[in-house]
Amino acid sequence: MAQSISIVLVLALAFAPLCLCGKTTGGYLYPQFYDRSCPKAQEIVNSIVAKAVAKEARMAASLVRLHFHDCFVKGCDASILLDSSRGIISEKGSNPNRNSARGFEVIDEIKSALEKECPKTVSCADIMALAARDSTVITGGPSWEVPLGRRDSRGASLSGSNSNIPAPNNTFQTILTKFKLQGLGVVDLVALSGSHTIGNARCTSFRQRLYNQSGNGQPDSTLQQSFAAQLRTRCPRSGGDQNLFFLDFVSPTKFDNSYFNNILASKGLLSSDQVLLTNNEASMELVKKYAGNQELFFEQFAKSMVKMGNISPLTGHRGEIRKSCRKINA
């Protein structure tokens, strides 16, 4: 009897999902979710992401950011991809996303290819999680197994998008509070901020640092002066809102730890980057650690991306598998 029980336990453990799984209401996320239903899913996502990044290096950062902006609003449920329609006000029009969120066409192309390969099977939410991982790897960053099995929402939240996503001019405490509301801590905040090792920011995102940081007509004292002068040449007091600047001017298309070294040199582009060093002791220590040890940063970034990807996913019978990522099923 005892032996038969132990055999059952061994079998149960052998077929249990990997520990990377996130336990969610109604089911698990686990990396092998599509192994039988759509075995080529990950290969298809990777191929299209690689092509998109080869065409435009900036796209890698855009796809990582899309996943982040999705997960912080109602969980990782692809709500950010929905266009406005009857009963739905799109999150694309929110302050953090308007004229800023991008990569939607790449997600569309992936979804179209997956619908041909295995119709009504792979969710848009999972596509975004995979695309974020692949974008990181393609640009030289760490890899990780992506837990899968998310389903897509049937609604969006414009108000959630406006209030939940950290803004570049938020105080450190406000940013940390927004992370804590999602079950993430200071370690996740600093590691995930490291994604700013790739990508661009618009002049409008950091202009106040150059001219009027505290409302007294003075630039941000935590921004290195010659770097600030250089930025002013293309980010004037008025106009040029959409002018793009590298978030990491040292290696703008390579996923590495130079972002943290830039912060130590007072050359973080956004206020939200520099406050990691100046406004909190725990985050300051983490910035120093990651600046000196890229492997440590990569390891934590991968863990924090899995953790973020596990924020309130729809599983089981909740939500749906959209046929088009831009609209709910009829």
Which residues are identified as catalytic?
69
- Pick the closest to residue 150 from 190, 173, 168, 123 (CA basis): 123
Alpha-helix runs per DSSP H in the chain: 2-14, 41-55, 59-71, 104-117, 124-138, 158-164, 172-180, 186-193, 207-211, 225-232, 258-264, 271-278, 281-292, 294-309
Q: From the centroid of its chain, how far is CA 27?
A: 23
Q: Which two tokens stand for residue 182?
A: 């999602």
204 token code pair: 């409008």
Longest Cα–Cα distance in the chain: 80
Q: Which residues pair with 324 in a beta bridge?
A: 327
CB contact at 8 A, 247 and 168 = no
In this structure, the chain runs to a length of 330
Q: Are 226 and 267 in contact (CB under 8 A)?
A: no
75's CB contacts (< 8 A; 6+ apart) are: 311, 312, 313, 314
Q: Is 77 annotated as a binding residue?
A: yes
Burial classification of residue 89, based on how many CB atoms lie within 10 Å of its CB (0-12 exposed, 13-18 middle, 19 or more buried): middle
Q: Which helix (H) or strand (E) holds 244?
A: strand 244-246
* Residue 75 known to bind ligand: yes
Contacts (Cβ under 8 Å, ≥6 apart) of 27: 149, 315, 316
Burial per residue of 139-163, b for 16 or more beta-carbon CB atoms within 10 angstroms, e otherwise = bebbebebbbbbbbbbebbbeebbe
The helix or strand, by DSSP H or E, that contains position 27, with its residue range, turns out to be: strand 27-29
Q: Is 256 marked as binding a ligand?
A: yes
Q: Which CA distances in Å does 48 have to 31, 100, 110? A: 20, 22, 6
Q: Does 91 belong to an annotated binding site?
A: yes
Q: Which residues are annotated as a binding site for Ca(2+)?
A: 70, 73, 75, 77, 79, 91, 197, 248, 256
Q: Which residues are annotated as a binding site?
A: 70, 73, 75, 77, 79, 91, 166, 196-197, 248, 256
